[in-house]
């Protein structure tokens, strides 16, 4: 058996750490979007500078423009004007539509067409021009709208494409993907579209990720890889996004029955600005606009020049390498790659034991070390997360300065792996084989159940298997061969994974932090064998330095301010009038669950959040003057018996002209067959009913002065109390003292500050 002197030791470990650091630095450098092209860039090219100028025209006034508002009508006209300047013939399609969550609105979609050289199917680019009520939506999705207008200009200045291009600017995305729903259900162009490039945002900066595709992404990734020069994509995001409740218009476009192929693009940096007044032109990074626009233009051209007849549901595994190159292969190859790696590793382990170069006990100890390291890393990461939460350093998902906190979680993963590397009795080969048999096993399992994620295990395991074979059977000095067998697979692993860890916090928030520690420890395991083979006192240098680095940054994480003017806490303040009780209330909903003292001093809020009514939710509550605002009204037009039910037709309106009105039926009402303005609604999803504690809530986001019609059935012989709540998106003047008392480190979000008025109406059979 070879002695420990001819196996890799400190020099190999140092080389591996240097390469890890270089790849981490490269990841950081390449995580920035490309520089924006100037306004005098060639006409067929996408220019971030030109696009930002368009964005300034659209939303530079900083006024929110939710669906149906006068401000949204103004943005719509500006889009129309820009399209007319480019010699397009835009049209507006108006439809009343509802989503599966019970939200309805009248939406106005803008469409324009660019003819191709061949008749037949079309491709589409889509963005939404409405914003949330809280903010102007410069990035979400003003930047997407401006980018689509710049793409429209670039296409006019380019040679004719093979297929027709449809430009869709839809309304009502923020209310529930309503514009996309209206397009696929009613617009004649919808039947011609085969593929779409959708652009959106969940922040105001950062590189643009192509995070979602249609089901035929084997075909799609071939187009993407050949067309997009600065790729940022991974099938990990595609796999995970299918499991998340998050939705964009692309969700509507790709679902069964519609079946568009295509790409979904977004940037997510500075998520603290998302859906707040800080989503303004000043905070929108022109480099992000450039990256999104040039990627969308390239993808759209590739689709428009393709045959548009892809094989259905043929998926791929794909990822980019530092934004230079997209690597992809058919998903069916993945299990073969994983199987080859695992079988080779099993053979190599068997040979080492047969040759008595590794004892069975050493291998078993090495096998045990891998899950112990990961369990310890997960436990330590979770414990540190708990400490930060209890210490007040992490009251919300995204804090003002996460750098010390992120550095601490990274260092903790390295520290745990380094401390647990010194397994007595396992030896270098035992630790190496124990580590890589786990990587190989995970590669096989993930290739079976989640092939889009598996490549982060498959490729390193395959590299380890081939390097191990060379180390066992090849000629030459053992330390060098085993050193390469240790470093090369580890370098491949971090090249594939560092970018995922780098953006995990931006994508998921605080919930990702323990996972960061776990995955840093995972990526450290390829070096564990070398760490365990270092015999001198120097072996303690890495864990001690990592522990010291962790301790310093942990203290900093507990001390840095959680909020700032540029990264404030989300908190809405509402006025709520209970018209039946003749009472008014102030409501405050801080995202941290802790009410600022300045607001407590301004009004006598309770000590804890309470439920004032299930459809409204939880809030800190203070008494307010009853402003005697006109309450929403429900008028029964007909109540017709049908067997054991009564079919009602009613008109619901806001007597004070509020744009939004919700009609809520109690959990035991038995309400069924609901339609609004003739649009039949689906039964509400279980997730919605859980959120509303069983109440069946139906919302109209564009209430006209005359109100809207609602049809439904209720069980015969049963009185039902219907809860009406209308909402306007501003506080009454009497709330100025609370706005003044609000800290500068808080900001409204989503619907923003509002005024709500409720009224109970009892429907009695026979009346």
> Do residue 111 and residue 173 come from a single domain?
yes
pLDDT digits (tens, 9 = 90+) for 364-397: 999 999 999 999 999 999 999 999 999 999 999 9
> Do residue 605 and residue 724 come from a single domain?
yes
Q: Considering its fold, how many domains does the chain have in total? A: 3
Is the confidence at residue 438, as pLDDT, over 50?
yes
Any idea what the CATH number is for the domain that residue 312 is in? Answer: 3.40.630.10
- The answer to whether residue 372 is domain-embedded is yes
pLDDT, average across residues 392-413: 95
pLDDT digits (tens, 9 = 90+) for 51-97: 999 999 999 999 999 999 999 999 999 999 999 999 999 999 999 99
The 3-state DSSP class for residue 35 equals coil
Closest by CA to 724, choosing from 673, 672, 650, is 650
Q: Is the dihedral of CA 356, 362, 366, 368 positive or negative?
A: positive
Q: Cα separation of 505 and 389, whole Å? A: 16
> Do residue 452 and residue 466 come from a single domain?
yes
**Which has the minimum average pLDDT: 48-52, 309-313, 622-626?**
309-313
Structure token pair of residue 756: 């709500």
pLDDT digits (tens, 9 = 90+) for 6-57: 676 677 878 888 999 999 999 999 999 999 999 999 999 999 999 999 999 9
Spatial neighbors of 70 by CB under 8 A, at least 6 apart, are none
State the pLDDT confidence band at 537, using cuts at 50, 70 and 90.
low
Percent of the chain whose predicted confidence (pLDDT) is above 90: 86
Closest by CA to 373, choosing from 419, 406, 437, is 419
Neighbours of 118 (CB within 10 A): 12
- The answer to whether residue 43 is domain-embedded is no
pLDDT, average across residues 735-745: 95
> Do residue 269 and residue 349 come from a single domain?
no
Buried b (16+ CB within 10 A) or exposed e, 743-753: eebbbbbebbb
Query: Which pLDDT belongs to residue 115?
Result: 96
> Do residue 86 and residue 220 come from a single domain?
yes
Query: Which pLDDT belongs to residue 615?
Result: 83
Give the strand pairing for 569-578 and 746-747: parallel
Query: Which pLDDT belongs to residue 3?
Result: 44
- The answer to whether residue 38 is domain-embedded is no
> Do residue 156 and residue 89 come from a single domain?
yes
Buried b (16+ CB within 10 A) or exposed e, 310-345: beeeebbbbbbebbeebebeebeebbebbebbbebb
> Do residue 432 and residue 515 come from a single domain?
yes
Q: Of the residues 305, 330, 355, which one is the last residue of a structural domain? A: 330
pLDDT digits (tens, 9 = 90+) for 336-352: 999 999 999 999 999 99
Query: Which pLDDT belongs to residue 426?
Result: 82
pLDDT digits (tens, 9 = 90+) for 569-610: 999 999 999 999 999 999 999 999 999 999 999 999 999 999
Query: Which pLDDT belongs to residue 613?
Result: 86
Q: Cα separation of 302 and 74, whole Å? A: 33
Is the confidence at residue 765, as pLDDT, over 80?
no
Is the confidence at residue 1, as pLDDT, over 60?
no
Place of tokens 């930060």: 388
Structure token pair of residue 369: 């070390």
Q: Cα separation of 249 and 196, whole Å? A: 10
> Do residue 291 and residue 375 come from a single domain?
no
Residue 324: domain span: 48-330
Closest by CA to 75, choosing from 171, 155, 168, 173, is 171
Q: Is the dihedral of CA 70, 675, 696, 585 positive or negative?
A: positive
Q: Of the residues 514, 536, 559, which one is the last residue of a structural domain? A: 559
pLDDT, average across residues 274-283: 98
pLDDT digits (tens, 9 = 90+) for 412-435: 999 999 888 766 678 889 999 999
């Amino acid at each position: 058996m070879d002695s420990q002197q001819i196996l890799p030791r400190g020099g190999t470990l140092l080389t591996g750490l240097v390469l890890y650091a270089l790849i981490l630095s490269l990841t950081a450098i390449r995580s920035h979007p490309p520089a924006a092209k100037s306004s005098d860039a060639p006409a067929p090219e996408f220019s971030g500078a030109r696009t930002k100028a368009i964005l300034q025209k659209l939303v530079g006034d900083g006024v929110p423009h939710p669906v149906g508002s006068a401000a949204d009508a103004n943005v719509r006209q500006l889009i129309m004007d820009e399209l007319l300047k480019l010699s397009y013939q835009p049209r507006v399609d108006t439809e009343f539509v509802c989503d599966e969550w019970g939200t309805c609105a009248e939406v106005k979609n803008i469409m324009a067409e660019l003819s191709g050289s061949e008749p037949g199917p079309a491709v589409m680019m889509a963005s939404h021009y409405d914003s949330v009520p809280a903010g102007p939506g410069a990035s979400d999705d003003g930047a997407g709208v401006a980018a689509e207008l710049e793409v429209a200009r670039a296409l006019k200045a380019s040679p004719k494409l093979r297929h027709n291009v449809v430009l869709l600017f839809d309304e009502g995305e923020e209310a529930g993907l309503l514009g996309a729903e209206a397009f696929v259900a009613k617009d004649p162009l919808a039947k011609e579209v085969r593929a779409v490039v959708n652009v959106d945002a969940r922040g105001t900066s950062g590189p643009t990720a192509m995070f979602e595709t249609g089901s035929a992404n084997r075909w799609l990734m071939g187009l993407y890889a050949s067309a997009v020069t600065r790729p940022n994509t991974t099938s990990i995001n595609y796999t995970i996004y299918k499991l998340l409740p998050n939705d964009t218009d692309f969700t509507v476009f790709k679902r069964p029955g519609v079946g568009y192929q295509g790409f979904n693009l977004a940037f997510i940096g500075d998520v603290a600005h998302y859906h707040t007044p800080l989503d303004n032109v000043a905070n929108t990074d022109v480099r992000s606009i450039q990256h999104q626009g040039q990627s969308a233009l390239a993808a759209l051209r590739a689709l428009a020049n393709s045959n548009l007849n892809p094989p259905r549901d043929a998926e791929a595994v794909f990822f980019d390498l530092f934004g230079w190159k997209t690597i992809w292969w058919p998903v069916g190859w993945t299990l073969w790659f994983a199987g080859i790696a695992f079988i080779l590793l099993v053979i190599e382990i068997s040979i080492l034991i047969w040759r008595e170069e590794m004892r069975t006990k050493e291998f078993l100890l090495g096998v045990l070390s891998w899950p112990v390291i990961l369990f310890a890393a997960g436990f330590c990461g979770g414990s540190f997360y708990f400490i930060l939460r209890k210490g007040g350093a992490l009251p919300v998902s995204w804090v003002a300065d996460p750098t010390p906190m992120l550095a601490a979680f990274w260092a903790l993963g390295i520290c745990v792996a380094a401390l647990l590397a010194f397994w007595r009795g396992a030896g270098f080969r035992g630790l190496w084989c124990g580590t890589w048999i786990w990587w190989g096993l995970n590669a096989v399992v993930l290739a079976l159940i989640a092939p889009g994620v598996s490549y982060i295990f498959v490729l390193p395991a395959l590299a380890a298997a081939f390097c191990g074979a060379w180390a066992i059977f090849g000629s030459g000095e053992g330390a060098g061969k085993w050193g390469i067998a240790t470093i090369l697979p580890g370098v491949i692993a971090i090249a594939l994974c560092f970018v995922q860890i780098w953006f995990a916090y931006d994508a998921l928030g605080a919930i990702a932090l323990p996972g960061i520690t776990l995955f840093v420890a995972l990526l450290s395991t390829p070096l564990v064998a070398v760490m365990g083979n270092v015999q001198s006192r120097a072996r303690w240098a890495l864990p001690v330095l990592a522990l010291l680095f962790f301790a310093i940054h942990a203290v900093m994480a507990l001390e840095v301010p959680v909020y700032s003017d540029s990264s404030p806490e989300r908190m809405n303040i509402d006025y709520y009038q209970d018209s039946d009780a003749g009472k008014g209330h102030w409501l405050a909903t801080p995202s941290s669950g802790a009410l600022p003292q300045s607001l407590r001093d301004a009004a006598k809020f309770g000590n804890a959040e309470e439920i004032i009514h299930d459809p409204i939710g939880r809030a800190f509550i203070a008494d307010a003057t009853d402003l005697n605002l006109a309450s929403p009204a429900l008028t029964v037009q007909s109540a017709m018996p049908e067997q054991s039910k009564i079919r009602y037709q009613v008109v619901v309106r806001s007597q004070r002209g509020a744009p939004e009105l919700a009609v809520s039926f109690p959990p035991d009402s038995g309400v069924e067959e609901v339609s609004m303005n003739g649009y039949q609604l689906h039964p509400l999803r279980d997730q919605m009913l859980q959120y509303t504690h069983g109440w069946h809530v139906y919302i109209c986001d564009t209430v006209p002065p005359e109100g809207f019609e609602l049809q439904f059935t209720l069980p015969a012989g049963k009185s039902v109390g219907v809860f009406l709540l209308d909402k306007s998106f501003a506080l009454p003047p009497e709330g100025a003292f609370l706005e003044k008392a609000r800290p500068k480190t808080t900001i409204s979000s989503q619907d923003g500050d509002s005024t709500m008025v409720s009224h109970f109406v009892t429907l009695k059979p026979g009346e």
